[in-house]
Amino acid sequence: MLNLAKMKSIYLDYAATTPTHELVVAEMQPYHACVFGNPSSLHHFGRDGKRALDLARDQLAALLNADPEEIVFTGSGTEADNFALKGVAYAQAERGRHIITSKIEHHAILESAAFLESQGWRVTYLNVDTNGVVDLDELQKALTPETVLVSIMHANNEIGTIQPVEKIAEIIRQFNLRQRSEKNSGVAASPVYFHTDAVQTAGILGVDVKKMRVDLLSVSAHKFYGPKGVGALYINKGTRISSFMHGGGQERGRRASTENVAGIAGFGKAAEIAQKERKGWAEHAAKLRDKLTEGILKTIPDSILNGHPTERLPGNVNVSIKYVEGEAMLLNLDMQGIACSTGSACSSGSLEPSHILLAIGRTHADAHSSLRFSLGRHTTEEDIDFVLEVLPKIVSRLRAMSPLYKK
């Protein structure tokens, strides 16, 4: 029988969500009861709420190197992704009905793309190599005069691979220049737009929308120590995009619905903190990531690292451990007080193998044998030592029961 009073409690699922920073919680507190006015109201109660939105917009814009008026607050990163794809698609429907994305995107992108396909748009899904990097030659060949949007995530939420977004932006820029130079191309003035899902990178890596040369970028507060239930979409000035939520005139007419003032205030504070502390967080997580990766690969035979060996998120360790079900390992680790995942939190209830691991060439069996550890600011070296102590024992015990495992 487990002794719960003495059991360790180690959280290694930061890619799913992060604990809200204590300063963020303090920042949000007044907006739950004291400063409660609707920010669209003209009286002083409303103006107090509006000031909170303006400050948070400035704080997030500073983190992304954007202009405040280019930030539109949403209810989540998923909503921001939906807004980007559907908003551009419908705004540009007369210009063209072709979208390019990749096979390893988050479900928010893939499901939005599938919906648009059902409505008559054509979608190209780019392949990736064994490290999860998008095929840039395939991207160049896929661009056509009918293409209106390319959506490639900044870093993958499961395997941690960071995409070469600046190279992608340059390919799109060169294509747009060629299209404009062809006098009789019949192409409208609007270019191919570039969207990136930066939910896993904003507040962790240096995300600079001007340097990256993206037109749209999705972020989510709860991935970098902000509250759940609030995200944002960066929309570069001049980008043609239709409103996604219809109703009132909030967010300058781009996203109807009374704003989540407390959540947005917390989002802004999280962005302010991240701007100062993210480099330290990343260095801390990367050091422990490398220790955990090396320890697993060294002590557990037939274990494979998934994702790029170096160009990956600082806190991401995704491994396939052959001949053992990922879910069985996860449950055994949870019994030891260690929380991790077998993939994306959004698909944790699915029995299907990860579409991302299949896309990088893993077999169905290896995809089902995966674990994702994601580290953050509270992770300690002692936490990693404990994982490396108990995981090999768990694997040995489970393999001993597996008919597929041969010593």
List the beta strands (DSSP E) in 58-201.
71-74, 98-102, 122-126, 147-151, 193-197
Q: Which of 11-25, 34-48, 212-226 shows the lowest mean pLDDT across its residues?
A: 34-48
Residue 341's pLDDT band (boundaries 50, 70, 90)? Answer: very high
Question: Residue 46 has what pLDDT?
Answer: 80
Question: Residue 270 has what pLDDT?
Answer: 98
User: How distant, in Å, are the alpha carbons of 282, 312, 376, 406 from that of 75?
Assistant: 26, 27, 24, 49
263 contacts 27 by C-beta, under 8 angstroms: no
100 contacts 124 by C-beta, under 8 angstroms: yes
Residue 36's pLDDT band (boundaries 50, 70, 90)? Answer: confident
SS3 assignment, position 73: strand
Q: For the residues of 209-249, what is the DSSP string, one character each?
A: HHHHT-SEEEEEGGGTTS-SS-EEEEE-TT-----SB-SS-
Return the number of other C-beta atoms located less than 10 Å from residue 76's C-beta. 19
Residue 189's pLDDT band (boundaries 50, 70, 90)? Answer: low
Q: How far apart are CA 322 and CA 68, in angstroms?
A: 48
Q: Label residue 193 exposed, middle or buried (CB < 10 Å: 0-12, 13-18, 19+).
A: buried
Question: Residue 185 has what pLDDT?
Answer: 53
- Residue 140: pLDDT above 80? yes
Quick one: average pLDDT of 60-77?
98
Domain 22-274 CATH class label? alpha beta
Q: How far apart are CA 367 and CA 350, in angstroms?
A: 13
- Residue 353: pLDDT above 70? yes
| Homologous superfamily assigned to 10-19+279-400 | Aspartate Aminotransferase, domain 1 (3.90.1150.10)
Number of helices and strands (H, E) in the chain?
14, 12
What are the residue ranges of helices labelled H in 11-122?
Answer: 22-28, 30-33, 44-64, 77-91, 107-118
Who's near 284: CB < 8 A, 6+ residues apart?
377, 379
Residues of the chain with CATH 3.40.640.10: 22-274
Which residue in the list 25, 142, 245, 346 is annotated as catalytic?
346
Question: Residue 406 has what pLDDT?
Answer: 67
Tell which wins on pLDDT, 49 or 272.
272
Instruction: Express as a percent the part of the chain with pLDDT over 70.
Output: 94
Residues of the chain with CATH 3.90.1150.10: 10-19+279-400
Question: Residue 347 has what pLDDT?
Answer: 47
- Residue 73: pLDDT above 90? yes
346 catalytically annotated: yes
85 contacts 242 by C-beta, under 8 angstroms: no
88 contacts 96 by C-beta, under 8 angstroms: no
Token pair in block for residue 92? 């540009």
Token pair in block for residue 284? 């801390």
Residue 249's pLDDT band (boundaries 50, 70, 90)? Answer: confident
